[in-house]
Amino acid sequence: MSRRRRYEPNIKKNSTFTLNITSMTDMFTIMLVFLLQTYSTAEIQITPDSEIRLPASSSMLNPTESIKISLSKSSLKIDQTKLADVKDADFLPQDLESKDANFIKPLFQELDKIAKAESDKPHVKEGRILLQADKDLPYATLRKVMYTASMAGYPQLKLITLVGE
């Protein structure tokens, strides 16, 4: 019986190895397109409050620098400072003006304080506010915040929404 010979490929000892980079170029192109599409070009970053479920929208406009107000089912805040409590989708009676049920006293006082302290900033001069509001709150509650903000000299109010959900 004869022995089988083991297969040995022909390897040239003095040849150079060539690298095919076409697939690697494709991979980098896909990564570049992905990163460019997910890159945020907004002037400011907004992180929603954990208690708030934002409504959906198809608007693609980026927010500009403004005073940030958040209204959840339990509280009203400017940045992270709690101003008033919310119970049963309405403000507590001690936070509302007795003669005007749409006027929120702590919100007006805080906005007035910001207007006096930061009057040199353009978003304060123009009266811009970004409002994060829970999507399950009734319009009457939102209207009280908008009314008080306009009385304090902040007529430009924009609602923050989630895009495409």
More confident residue, 9 or 76: 76
Task: Say what the pLDDT of residue 43 is.
Answer: 64
Q: Is residue 135 part of a domain?
A: yes
Query: Among residues of the chain, what percentage have pLDDT more than 70?
Result: 84
Task: Say what the pLDDT of residue 118 is.
Answer: 82
Sheet strands side by side (includes 81-87) = 90-91, 81-87, 75-78, 67-71, 128-133, 156-159
In the predicted structure, residue 165 carries a pLDDT above the cut 60: no
Query: Among residues of the chain, what percentage have pLDDT more than 90?
Result: 8
pLDDT tens per residue across span 84-142 = 888 888 888 898 988 988 899 999 999 889 888 887 887 777 888 888 888 888 989 98
Q: Is residue 5 part of a domain?
A: no
Decide: 131 and 52 in contact? Cβ < 8 Å.
no
- Residue 45 has what DSSP assignment? -
The structural domain count of the chain equals: 1
Task: Say what the pLDDT of residue 144 is.
Answer: 92
CATH number of the CATH domain containing 104: 3.30.420
Q: Is residue 2 part of a domain?
A: no
Q: Is residue 8 part of a domain?
A: no
Decide: 165 and 55 in contact? Cβ < 8 Å.
no
pLDDT tens per residue across span 7-66 = 777 766 666 666 777 778 888 899 999 888 777 666 666 666 777 777 777 666 767 778
Q: Is residue 130 part of a domain?
A: yes
Rounded Cα distance, 151 and 103, in Å = 9
Task: Say what the pLDDT of residue 143 is.
Answer: 92
Q: Is residue 67 part of a domain?
A: yes
Q: Is residue 31 part of a domain?
A: no
Q: Is residue 9 part of a domain?
A: no
Q: Can you give the residue range of the structural domain that contains 115? A: 56-163
